[in-house]
Chains A and B, each alone.
Chain A
Amino acid sequence: MHMAQTLTINGETKSFNAPPEMPLLWVLRDILGMTGTKFGCGIAQCGACTVHVDGKAVRSCVLPVSAVENRAVTTIEAVGDTPSGAKVQKAWLDLEVIQCGYCQSGQIMAAAALLAETSHPDDSDIDAAMAGNICRCGTYVRIREAIKQAANGRQS
């Protein structure tokens, strides 16, 4: 059954009707019209749908909307307002990481969560945080470089 739900997304309160088991991904995309978060697989295997819940990277395609009530959801649309998100976005553009870009919302969310937790990640930290984010264009080498640049605050 549809139920009234209230979420805090990017600092704003959003109210809508949805079944409690409905994944957050479809609430964002199909109810709230926030299409920056992408559908790739629906089974938490590709990472395209990554958002932050209380600052941690999670896969919104398998996360029931009822599980995020009273928690802070951040999406790609607002990650630039966080210090680590802004650094990641800048490094991504400085190094021209992106090709088709479809996975990159998720890549950026995963990288921003990593940097928020680990300010200077080494390769194994990067492997652990980013292994669940697939890029079909194969931008992995530049993603790794951009995470390091974002961490070090180097200018291009």
Chain B
Amino acid sequence: MIADNSLQAVSRRTLLTGGLAAGFVLAFHLPLRAAVNEPEQPKDATDGKFAPNAFIRIDETGRTVLIMPQVEMGQGIYTSISMILAEELDADWAEVAVLHAPPNDQFYANPVFGLQATGGSTSIRAWWEPLRAAGASARAMLVQAAAAQWQVEPASCTTSKGEVMHTASGRSLSYGALALAAVEQSPPKDVPLKDPKDFVYIGQPLKRLDTPDKVNGKAVYGIDAILPGMKFATVAACPVFGGKVGKVDDSAAVKVAGVRKVVVLDDMVAVIGDHMWAAKKGLEALKIEWNKGPHAELTTRDIWQDLRAASEKDGVVAKSVGDIATGLASGDKFEASFELPFLAHASMEPINATVHVRPDACEIWTGTQIMTRVQSEAAKAAGLPVDKVIINNHLLGGGFGRKLEPDMVIAAVKIAKQVDYPVKVVWTREEDIQHDVYRPIYRDQVTASLVDGKVAAWKYKVAGSAVIARWLPSAFEKGIDIDAVDAAVETPYDFPNFHVEYVRAEPPAVPTGFWRGVGPNNNVFAVECAMDELARKAGKDPVEFRRSMLTKSPRALAVLNLAAEKSGWGQPLPPRVGRGICVQP
């Protein structure tokens, strides 16, 4: 689901397998230098601190605050990013604290997307090199500061756990003691990075930085924001996508104890109260008539009929190797299609945003995977310039791609615009599920032929939404959604004749977006189900069948063999227990 700045498409899987490594490296080198060597700093306070780049702040006590360009939603990235920075910085791990980054694409854009976004399993791949360089550059400046004070060569100094040492003279200074002097140093050019054999943090099973506060209730998620004078709101959105609010009778709602205001937007109604309970009771007391709009009669059956019809058309060729027509003309023919439903993200933390619209600014407290996009969309909704929108990001109680969308923040801004106090807008679970941006429905068709117990030809056609075309249009090229075909165009198998097509088919009305596992959660399911059925057709054991076609994928073969061994493949199982195997590169 990835594109680099030159718009060359690089898929998530490809990044993992290294197939287009050159394209990827190009992608993340571009913003790297700008981020690290850019003299201007983000607006957070840097007074009295050594702030060599956008990621590191060291004060006179040695406290080392690391600024997180990616968001923490359970994947452990705050710890991993800190380890990378601390490694090259030679920081004292005990002094490390983390800070959510402010919105700023110049400093914090994910190099893979060119946007401050967390998603697609890109964080480490994207930031590995830029953050190592940032840490190494800061370390070099601290060394220069110490060397100047001691009047020795920087090269004669070493660093470890937050100290610069000059072994020859037995002197040492802590990073805290050097912080102010280091401010005067210039960042050196082309700082060497550590040899991986010298790593002290990377590769070690360090404890996560975010978990201690998650066992005692201190961790603060977006939904936990508390502000003086804050009120609470919850919403009812039109139950039909594309529909609008018709008439609202709020006469009973406004009499509910604790209800402060009913806000009617274009396609949803919000009730603001002294607490969520008042807001919920107020919402229940509303009488809302909806103008259901053009999709009022749309059914699941209609949506599937549309997709099935679209999927019968020829698609755009995403990849073709060998001669698929000749390959399919001989051997034992196999045909199957796989259909996958819409899926809601259902993050444990229901979608929410807290917003205070003031005459001159709009301040937002939320947990989002897309800081800068939320900022720009909120600015539009508030009618303010982007630089008047302040975003305070938080820990995310699950993301899974739902928080790659700004809709909940936009709605909260529109609600908060109606009042002069801060409002925390929390969707009920029911509204959260009913108004998701769903994983698309897909239809995948496999046509294959078997010759001598192996796949001689494989034609795969995926039909479904092009989320990329909406979310990152610059990466949607030649009619191919690189995410929709991810893990379909790069299977690990030796298919001599191999052909993959994509049919863009947008469902009527239902919004679609990225979902945990992205493209592969559809394609790997279909490919591997087909492989199992082909194995059965060939009269072969599913492991043996796959093994015979993994000659060009030694790592996948090794994983398959290990999984078969560890699962006791071939050995009998107790009643009502099943065992299956699947290979995902």
Taking Cβ atoms with an 8 Å cutoff, the residues of A that contact B are 1-2, 18-19, 22-23, 26-27, 29-31, 33-43, 46, 48, 75-77, 79-80, 89, 92-93, 96, 98-105, 108, 134-137
How far apart are the CA atoms of A54 and B347 in the complex, in Å?
30
Assembly CA distance A105 to B215 (angstroms) = 6
Q: Are A98 and B276 in contact (CB under 8 A)?
A: no
Q: Which residue of B lies closest to A37 (CB)?
A: B217
Q: List 28 A-B contacts (CB under 8 A).
A: A2-B257, A2-B258, A19-B257, A30-B232, A38-B348, A43-B429, A46-B429, A48-B348, A75-B217, A76-B215, A76-B217, A77-B218, A79-B216, A93-B211, A93-B212, A93-B215, A96-B208, A99-B75, A99-B76, A100-B348, A101-B211, A101-B214, A102-B347, A102-B397, A102-B398, A105-B217, A108-B215, A137-B74
* Stretch of B23-31, B220-228, B567-575 on the interface side: B220-228
- Does B275 sit within 8 A of A, measured CB to CB? yes
Picked from A1, A35, A46, A92, the residue with its CB within 8 Å of the CB of B217 is: A35
| B277 interface residue (CB < 8 Å to A) | yes
Binary A-proximity of B399-423 (CB < 8 A = 1, otherwise 0): 1100000000000000000000000
Q: Say yes or no: A42 contacts B428, CB within 8 Å.
A: yes
**Interface flag for B350 (CB, 8 Å):** yes
Q: How distant is the Cα of A92 from the Cα of B207 in the complex, in angstroms?
A: 12
* Residue B283 at the chain A interface, CB threshold 8 Å: no
- B581 vs chain A, min Cβ distance (A): 20
The answer to whether A103 touches B258, judged by C-beta atoms less than 8 angstroms apart, is no
Contact B223 A101 (CB under 8 A): no
**B75 nearest in chain A by CB position:** A99
Is the Cβ of A39 less than 8 Å from the Cβ of B350? yes
- Interchain residue pairs A-B with the least CB separation, the first 4: A36-B217, A102-B397, A100-B74, A99-B74
Q: Given A33-B226, A93-B215, A101-B395, verify A39-B277 contact (CB < 8 Å).
A: no
Q: Which residues of B contact A108 (CB under 8 A)?
A: 215
Whether a CB of chain A sits under 8 angstroms from the CB of B131 is no
Nearest CB in chain A: distance from B233 CB, A: 11
- Scoring B residues 34 to 75 as 1 if CB is less than 8 Å from chain A, else 0, what string do you get? 000000000000000000000000000000000000000111
A48 to B224, CA, bound (A): 14
Contact A137 B428 (CB under 8 A): no
Closest Cβ of chain B: how far from A123's Cβ, in Å?
16
| Contact call A103/B276, Cβ cutoff below 8 A | no
A33 to B218, CA, bound (A): 12
Q: A23-B277, A93-B212, A99-B76 are in contact. Are A35 and B226 (CB under 8 A)?
A: yes
Q: Tell which of B211, B218, B274 touches A96, judged by Cβ atoms closer than 8 Å.
A: B211
CB distance from A42 to the nearest CB of B (A): 6
- Cβ 8 A contact of B277, one of A19, A77, A89, A99: A19
Given A96-B207, A101-B397, 20 other A-B contacts at CB below 8 A? Answer: A1-B257, A18-B277, A26-B277, A30-B232, A36-B217, A38-B221, A42-B280, A42-B429, A43-B429, A77-B217, A77-B218, A92-B211, A93-B207, A96-B208, A100-B74, A100-B349, A101-B210, A102-B349, A103-B348, A105-B217
CA distance A30 to B423 in the complex (A): 12
B346 within 8 A of A: yes
CA distance A83 to B400 in the complex (A): 35
Shortest A140–chain B CB gap in Å is: 13
Contacts of B276 in A (CB 8 A): 26, 29-30, 39
B residues within 8 A CB of A104? 214-215
Residues of A within 8 A of B397 (CB): 38, 100-103
Q: Chain B residues in contact with chain A, CB under 8 A?
A: 73-76, 207-208, 210-212, 214-221, 223-224, 226, 232, 257-258, 274-277, 280, 346-350, 395-400, 426, 428-429
Report the nearest B residue to A135, measured CB to CB: B348
Complex-state Cα separation, A41 to B280, whole angstroms: 13
* Contact present for B348 and A134 (CB under 8 Å): yes
Q: Which B residues touch A93, using CB under 8 A? A: 207, 211-212, 215
Query: Which residues of chain B are within 8 angstroms of A101 by Cβ–Cβ distance?
Result: 74, 210-211, 214, 219, 395, 397
With A22-B277, A41-B429, A46-B348 in contact, is A100–B215 under 8 Å at CB? no
Shortest Cβ distance from A33 into B: residue: B226
Q: Give Cα A46–Cα B346 distance, bound, in whole angstroms.
A: 11
Once bound together, how far apart are the Cα atoms of A16 and B214, in whole Å?
27
Contacts of B214 in A (CB 8 A): 98, 101, 104
Is the Cβ of A39 less than 8 Å from the Cβ of B398? no
Contacts of A76 in B (CB 8 A): 215-217
Known A-B contacts A40-B429, A101-B74, A135-B348; A92 and B258 likewise in contact (beta carbons under 8 Å): no
Residue A31 contacts which of B75, B275, B400 (CB distance < 8 angstroms)?
A: B275
A39, chain B: closest CB distance, angstroms: 7
B400 and chain A: residue at smallest CB distance? A136
Q: Which residues of A contact B429 (CB under 8 A)?
A: 40-43, 46
> A40 contacts B257, CB within 8 Å?
no
Least CB distance, B434 to chain A, in whole angstroms: 13
Partner of A136, one of B75, B226, B398: B398
Bound CA–CA A93/B219 (angstroms): 14
Contact B349 A38 (CB under 8 A): yes
Cα of A76 to Cα of B76 in the assembled complex, Å: 22
Closest to A91 in B: B215
Distance of A100 Cα from B76 Cα, bound (Å): 8
Set of chain B residues within 8 Å of A34, measured between Cβ atoms: 217
* Distance (whole angstroms) from the CB of B77 to the closest CB of chain A: 11
- With a cutoff of 8 Å between Cβ atoms, the chain A residues found around residue B216 in the complex are 36, 76-77, 79-80, 89
Q: Report whether A30 and B217 are in contact in the complex, using a CB–CB cutoff of 8 Å.
A: no
Bound Cα distance from A107 to B374, whole angstroms: 32
Min CB distance B577 to A, Å, is 16
Query: Which residue, A29, A34, A46, A92, has most C-beta atoms of chain B within 10 A?
Result: A29
Nearest CB of B to A52, in Å: 13
A136 proximity list for chain B (CB < 8 A): 346-348, 398, 400
The answer for the CA separation of A48 and B274 in the assembled complex, in Å, is 22
Known: A40-B348, A134-B348. A102 touches B221 (CB 8 A): yes
Chain B residues closer than 8 Å to A79, beta-carbon distance: 216
| Chain B residues within 8 Å of A30, by CB | 232, 274-277
The residue from B212, B275, B428 contacting A26, defined by CB atoms under 8 A apart: B275
Bound-complex Cα distance A104 to B395 (A): 14
Bound-complex Cα distance A128 to B9 (A): 49
Bound complex: CA of A48 vs CA of B399, how far in Å?
Answer: 17
C-alpha spacing A135/B212, complex, angstroms: 18
A-chain residues with CB within 8 Å of residue B224 when the two chains form the complex? 29, 35
> Contact between B217 and A39 (Cβ–Cβ < 8 Å)?
no
Complex CA distance for A37 and B348, rounded to whole angstroms = 13
**Least Cβ–Cβ distance between B82 and chain A, in angstroms:** 15
